[in-house]
């Protein structure tokens, strides 16, 4: 009887307990945002409330902190929050985007134009995870242990000849420092500080990993309520919104055709240029790369390899590579943008029918610290290839001068 009463008490107590947040059932990463439009102030007030269900590690590397970048599109202004080292960070930081811009006219005059909000403008919030510092290399640990053991015995560590030369050059360093100080007095800054700041910024950006982004269109329908503490009666607000973080999409035609793939997918455009010299010539077939997209699971697997990634586009003619383009190596990421003007390969078509033996090969490769390459995925675009790869090829040949843009998945 006593056990039955305890069970009934536990069941009833569990039924009466309510979850603190309605969205805790959804375990996808989310970000909270509130947007207030003030027509009198001619500004857009964007408040980053917080985030939840964020990943705590990327591969074997733990996340140190999180940061959010907010941008108004179209527009050049962007803001970033402070860093928070919590899996459920709370910022409550407000950023103001002015809805006025100055346009310069002739004779030095400037005109102020007031911008309006509509469905063609967006607020994009991107959340980044900042990884922890990498551990020391084994050799550095050994050197540190040796120095500690020598200091414990009361001995001083031996210095090599190079170190002695460095000691002898300390006076030169002092002279250079004095010169830098004099330059700083005359020109306001020294010669080493900008280099050090750029290196520090590069290191900070190398530690960033994109968790995802959310896009909020500035449609008047999305501003249904008034803010609780409004300065003006005409202020409207979206209220507190919790939006899921998605991989960054491009918005180019054909983006709706992309499908989730374990190995990742790329956005490519294929265009057949018209021949200029001779009507019988078929021009050139140009393959351009726009974006790379990976899932969080794929990025975690790549992060565990402790290496870097790169993409390679190749032109294969009768089984021989005639031309290729290879990207710079980059850290694992869920989304990356490329310049189509430079990320491209061209297949010559001197006469009609010359492209029958030509194909494009797209490879996604991972390279670890030891220099070992491991292919992540690849696919071929050509005349004899089926599926979406062959469709893009046929559409490009059927419509000369028109770019056929599609998302293609790695196999």
Question: If you write DSSP's letter for every residue of 209-220 in order, what string do you get?
Answer: EEEEEEEEE--G
Same domain, 230 and 366: no
> Residue written as tokens 């919104």?
241
Q: Which residues contact 208 (CB under 8 A, 6 or more apart)?
A: 67, 128, 129, 130, 131
Q: Looking at the structure, tell me whether residues 272 and 234 fall in a common domain.
A: no
Question: Are 279 and 384 contained in the same domain?
Answer: yes
Task: State how many domains the chain has.
Answer: 2
Does one domain contain both 294 and 400?
A: yes
Same domain for 310 and 388: yes
CA distances from residue 8 to 11, 13, 16, 199 in whole angstroms, order as listed: 5, 9, 13, 64
Tell me the C-alpha to C-alpha distance, in Å, between residue 323 and each of 192, 293, 306, 359, 382. 41, 25, 30, 11, 15
Instruction: Indicate whether 158 belongs to any domain.
Output: no
292 and 223 assigned to the same domain: no
Per run of 10 residues, the mean pLDDT along the chain (length 411 residues) is 60 42 61 91 91 82 89 85 90 90 66 69 88 55 59 55 41 53 50 55 69 87 86 88 75 41 84 65 83 73 72 90 88 80 85 79 84 85 86 89 90 85
| Residue 90: per-residue pLDDT | 93
Q: 107: left (phi > 0), else alpha (psi -120 to 50), else beta?
A: left
For 43, the domain range is: 30-134+205-244
Element spanning 291, H or E: strand 284-293
Among residues 215, 244, 273, the one where a domain terminates is 244
CATH number for the domain including 370?
2.60.40.150
Q: Does 117 lie in the same domain as 85?
A: yes
Separation between Cα atoms, residue 215 and residue 207, nearest integer Å = 24
HSE at residue 400, side-chain half, CA atoms within 13 A, is: 11
**The pLDDT value given to residue 14:** 42
């Amino acid at each position: 009887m006593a056990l039955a009463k305890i069970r009934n008490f536990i069941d009833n107590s569990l039924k009466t307990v309510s979850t603190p947040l309605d969205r805790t059932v959804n375990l996808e990463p989310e970000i909270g945002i509130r947007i207030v439009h003030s027509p009198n102030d001619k500004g857009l007030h964007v408040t980053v409330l917080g985030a939840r269900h964020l990943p705590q590690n990327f591969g074997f590397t733990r996340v140190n902190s999180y940061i959010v970048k907010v941008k108004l599109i179209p527009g050049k202004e962007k803001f970033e929050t402070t860093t928070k080292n919590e899996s459920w960070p709370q910022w409550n930081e407000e950023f103001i985007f002015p809805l006025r811009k100055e346009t310069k006219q002739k004779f030095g005059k400037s005109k102020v134009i007031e911008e309006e909000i509509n469905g063609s403008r967006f607020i994009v919030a991107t959340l980044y995870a900042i990884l922890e510092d990498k551990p020391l290399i084994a050799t550095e640990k050994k050197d540190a242990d040796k120095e500690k053991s020598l200091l414990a015995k009361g001995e001083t560590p031996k210095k090599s000849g190079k170190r002695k030369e460095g000691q002898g050059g300390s006076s030169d360093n002092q002279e250079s420092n004095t010169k830098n100080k004099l330059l700083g007095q005359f020109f306001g800054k020294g010669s080493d500080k900008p280099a050090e700041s750029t290196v520090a910024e590069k290191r900070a950006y190398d530690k960033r990993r994109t968790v995802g982004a959310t896009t909020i269109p500035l449609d008047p329908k999305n501003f249904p309520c008034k803010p609780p503490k409004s300065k003006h009666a005409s202020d409207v607000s979206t209220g507190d919104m919790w939006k899921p973080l998605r991989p960054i999409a491009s918005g180019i035609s054909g983006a709706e055709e992309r499908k989730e793939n374990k190995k990742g997918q790329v956005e490519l455009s294929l265009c057949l240029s018209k021949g200029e010299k001779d009507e019988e010539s078929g021009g050139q077939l140009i393959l351009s790369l726009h974006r790379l997209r990976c899932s969080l699971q794929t990025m975690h697997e790549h992060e565990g390899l402790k290496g870097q990634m790169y993409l390679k586009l190749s032109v294969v003619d009768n089984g021989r590579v005639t031309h290729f383009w290879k990207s710079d190596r980059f850290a694992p990421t869920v989304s990356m943008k490329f310049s189509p003007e430079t990320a491209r390969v061209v297949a010559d078509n001197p006469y009609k029918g010359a492209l029958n033996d030509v194909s494009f090969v797209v490879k996604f490769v991972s390279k670890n610290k030891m220099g070992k390459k491991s292919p992540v995925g690849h696919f071929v675009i050509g005349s004899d290839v089926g599926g979406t790869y062959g469709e893009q090829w046929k559409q490009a040949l059927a419509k000369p001068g028109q770019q056929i843009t599609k998302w293609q998945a790695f196999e």
